[in-house]
Structure 1
């Protein structure tokens, strides 16, 4: 299939990478599910992992320890990663004894480490016995990208837990690189979700994140920077104890497939198509210019009467009247809201825009420097007969939410 990293996913994450790689901090990317092991026909998350290495041909190490180094699991890994321009390898630690120095040499020579799913208890037992836990910590500090799915995501946090044989869920002490806890498969396994909430409620494990299949949490250092997904409808949740109950707060990931929707790469584009692409791109550039000028009347003049506006939370607004209200509210909250364009791609009436959104939350009519934000963002626009018929925003709004929560709490 693909022998080089997809231009599509590279475009999606390039502006994120430019911000992140400036920092000399390790990356940890924890998947709730999905990737090559659960969704072999959807490798968007795997592409994303490879991109974080910033290497043309990264070396990738698969650790299937939690799954007992099962041959089928290892075969799945190679089937997927042999499609990419990378150097895949694996280690079977539960079946073979590898001298510590050799193990350290192999692990620390990698660009990306992916830890498979299975039993988190067994994983931690084997890693502590072999000394891999100490080597992995060194790899993190050295800047090697760490990642994993299910048990391979749980292991990076302080608190883990084990599927019961006696119906009693027990805490497992994990690596502790990241605070709190992590629950994978949050949409597929009701018993796991229920047990996770009960353990948080009882105080046996700390608060954390419930993450659905196809969603990943991307940490830089110990700070959660990005939430991304390979499915447009997948979600993650902050799960924590508040007073006498456990609460869930929904987090909307940035969908990595945005360009797949907007731009199907063709080998041939004729001259007439090029003319249309230029026209549509210019229409969208003019629309963005009006956004930055806060010209709501001009924006509405460029949209069709039945146009749809979908914000980054997935909430849609239809029709001119409601759209005017939506723009007025946005620009009241953020009087200096600005879209910065870094790249635009157009195809078949769909235009994809990549860049950043920035602004300041106005509090009590004041614009304070401490309330500024700037976040990576993407937009798609559907253009028909010279009018915008659909405008959709994709962004990680966590920094904005924090500003709003701070304002509401009066801190």
Structure 2
């Protein structure tokens, strides 16, 4: 399945490659070959975006970490020179109001209000509940017909159920928020369509916030409602944070579950290593290696320089855009020997799949826990799990900011 976006193919007339780039046919787990070639040439390379702008593509691991931690680099999508993923309509950016696209101190103020529920000890306390969700979904699959679409039957329900429970969102509304989430992260969606989807989700979370203000429960949204009552947040800010957490909490993990399963099925020696081991350290290692190897966030983390920055023998000028392509950073041979080999025993904990610096993914402890439970349970309970179609018939998500598969037919 190839991207429907013409500007993601080939090079512009000036010889500057277009970004985003296409993956090679038959190599769905690997970064685009053009990006890999640029990495071999230099740490920074110019690329051309949809609007003709030419930001820097940062290709190597060390330089990405350095820039992501540099206070002279901004995540503010409203700054001139920011390398946006598409046109920003008059109604505002699809991510406006989100602390993800803010700088400190405002970023730190808002992020701090939702940090506690994602602390490692708090997240680990969810292990029994997540294990129960995983086991029940597997029970349902085993009792039903086969083949089955693993995305629909398992990969998407697991994180959706978990994030709904954590936030206090009715799971009965999952079709509604999943449909709108897909529009938000779809790369070739019309700007107005994306804004409408964000607005629809915002209205939904705002109404839900009203219910939490009137009748708080033991969930994250109720915690935000208390912040609203205390004057630390506006109701609109709280609703927008709820939208961010709802989208991020199910889309990324769902794609990692499905794509990780497919990668393991295509590497049976590594699947056997994981399936036959009861060592929790190996399971944790497998999660980190799959995060490194697959990199589902494949549009790059985007920034703009606030000042001139000297790095890797180049000068990035103030106002120039930067794209940190974590898929190629995690395949940098200087950081990961034999980077194109899937090796579950590798120590890959220093990958940048969750970013780096102050904007590093807030929900990574929860994502890691969900993946550990899934990867240590699914293949052991269904040891004969296998694809029910050919690899070249799997529909990959080349058209979104989150990479994965639309469907994964499996049998046993």
Bin the TM-score by the shorter chain: under 0.3
Judging by fraction of residues, say which structure has more strand: 1
Judging by fraction of residues, say which structure has more helix: 2
TM-score, structure 2 length as denominator?
0.24
TM-score, structure 1 length as denominator?
0.24
